[in-house]
A and B are shown apart, each in its own frame.
Chain A
Amino acid sequence: MRCGDFRETYIKDEEIFQSLFVKWCLGLFLLFLLIFPFVANAYLLYVANMIGFAVIAAIGLNILTGFTGQISLGHAAFAGVGGYTSAILVTKLGFSFWVALPCAGVMAAIAGLIIGIPSLRVKGLYLCIATLAAQFIFEFIFVHWESLTQGVRGLNVPPPRIGNFLINTEKRFYFLTLFVVLLAVVYARNLVRSRVGRAFVAIRDRDLAAEIIGINLFRYKLTAFAISSFYAGIAGALWVGFIRIVTPEHFPFHLSVQYLAMVIVGGMGSVMGSIFGAVFMTLIPELLNVLSSSLTSVFSGAAHFFIPFKEVVFGGLIVLFLIFEPRGLAEIWRRIKAFFLLWPFSY
């Protein structure tokens, strides 16, 4: 039985896989993720894909908000920039999806850089309002740049393909999503323990102190914005490829709040936490949907009651987590692990 970790060097402390046991668990989990599409039905796979997109965006936002301490209330707009970029490149310029996907990320990163510029002058509350304004400005652009985005009618996008193999079912897309999610997680996990990641954390904890110890605020804040919106752009582009249509309604302010809620509920400053948060915040509405459809067969009035009820649950989760568990699901998970690790001699 493992009773504790004894790390004697900093290198050991920074390791991602801290013991053989963890490696085994992760291996088993990966195996489960690979087997999952062969046993799940289309609905579950749809939900799994949605979770995947949410995980990517939430990790991106966590790099910005959780690690660098910069608030963004406009992340849906960055996802929208990514989604529209890929849709326009594929439909209007005939690019392949595989080229358009990274382009979408880059375009979103550029948008993020532009929005990030105010972060050099203002912070906290003011930055929050600036990104909120950016959200509405981008929504306006999506609706009104008709020649490019076709306004509210939106763009229809063909499914991605490899040769003649169309990735057009939930199951096929699942593997694509899984692959990108894994890349995103591995990159983020490594980023936050690198020099750049430590610079981010230093900026979050006290920006003036960070500048004094030689961190270039201008560079690192903008880097955080760029990486974070790159993630959002990739999530947006994947999502658009999955549902094969893009309209301005896919990227409302509500989605921005949802991403932030994932970061908060999952745990700020934890890659693992964003995964938890994304899974949790995607599953809760789906569970409520299932519940409502089964209740509707009993009480006919239940359906229109459930839409606002979802909002109440959504808002309530944000409020309750912030009050009672501000470090989120990641902290709960850590406590559970600690309990079993030391059981029966926990003290």
Chain B
Amino acid sequence: MDILLQVIVTGLATGGVYGLIALGFVLIYKATSILNLATGAFMTLGAFVCLTIITDAGAPFWAAFAGTLAFAFVLGLIIERLVLRQLIGEPIISVIMVTIGLAFMLQGITHIIWSPEYRSFPEIFPPEPLDLSFAIVPSGLLWGFVFAIIGTIIFILIFKYTRTGVAMRATANDQQAALSMGISVRWIFALSWSFGAIAAVIGGIVIGNISGISIYMGDIGLKVLAVIILGGLDSIGGAIIGGFIIGILENLTGLYIDPLVGGGAKAVAPFFILVIILMIRPYGLFGKKIIERV
């Protein structure tokens, strides 16, 4: 079995999960132009809520999953209403800082409610890995990949065909025009936060399945910044494709560069890629080219 192929396949599967979390960023950014750095905290919170419903209430996975999605929906609405709506029209640094502040609050609250020990998810997916004859995909990554693809397709369909989706795209395009067409921009903003939170918690549950749950799992959210910058901040398809590319590049770095520098390069590779993309093509592969050069 070729190690290179194996690494690429693993990278693809990891990338799918990154893409899912990246959706959490993109869905919010697209409509509201806010980069939600609390996405990682949403993920963690969602994973813990799901785990608690399964272990404490003894519910089956699908019920817990649905419950977590409902929780994320409400969480998104509340945060938008209480915090972000107050900051409409404020400078960008305030908005970014407020999401960072939210991240710390949510992480602290998660820490208070659930202690910081590492936990593993109960087995939900069949544990057999998928053997592709040239590479093996571990079960967690495989199901993460499947979830990511399904999630992305659902969100793309919502955006393309439903009334709400069209309203969201209209708002992203031109808020005043959207308002004058009778779209409630406020409601769209709130809904975007809910959608973003939902995508993030699905990412959290998937990651929890792959590598277990701890209150620090949200740190992966920062790594995903590379994905959304590469894919373009406002492109749903870009998020998933960027996820694949970053996933593969990250695993290749782990294979080729880690032995040279003595480990750790894999974790920091997305940030190097991030800087390079920002220098060459800051709007990403599929983003709108409205970035202002000075």
Contact = CB atoms under 8 A, between A and B. Distances in A.
A318 B104 contact: yes
B105 interface: yes
A129 B225 contact: yes
Contact of B96 (A71, A133, A319, A326): A71
A269 to B, nearest CB: 11
B261 interface: yes
Contact of B35 (A125, A261, A313): A125
A240 to B, nearest CB: 23
Given A132-B222, A132-B225, A318 B97 contact: yes
B98 A323 contact: yes
Contacts of A69: 91, 93
Contacts of A207: 294
B292 interface: yes
Contacts of A304: 115
A315 B292 contact: no
B274 A126 contact: no
Interface in B241-294: 261-265, 267-268, 271-272, 274-275, 278-279, 282, 291-294
Contacts of A143: 264
Contact of B271 (A133, A311, A323, A326): A133
A120 B282 CA distance: 12
Interface in A119-153: 120-126, 128-130, 132-134, 136-137, 139-140, 143-144, 146
A118 B275 contact: yes
By secondary structure, the B interface counts as: helix
A4 interface: no
Interface in B198-242: 222, 225-226, 229, 233
A79 B233 CA distance: 30
A137 B92 contact: no
A310 B108 CA distance: 8
B108 to A, nearest CB: 3
A308 interface: yes
B109 interface: yes
Interface string A195-216: 0000000000001100100000
Contacts of B107: 308, 311, 315
Closest 9 interchain pairs by CB? A315-B104, A318-B101, A311-B108, A308-B111, A315-B105, A312-B108, A133-B271, A140-B268, A319-B101
13 contacts: A69-B91, A69-B93, A120-B294, A126-B278, A130-B275, A136-B222, A208-B294, A217-B294, A261-B97, A312-B104, A312-B105, A315-B102, A323-B98
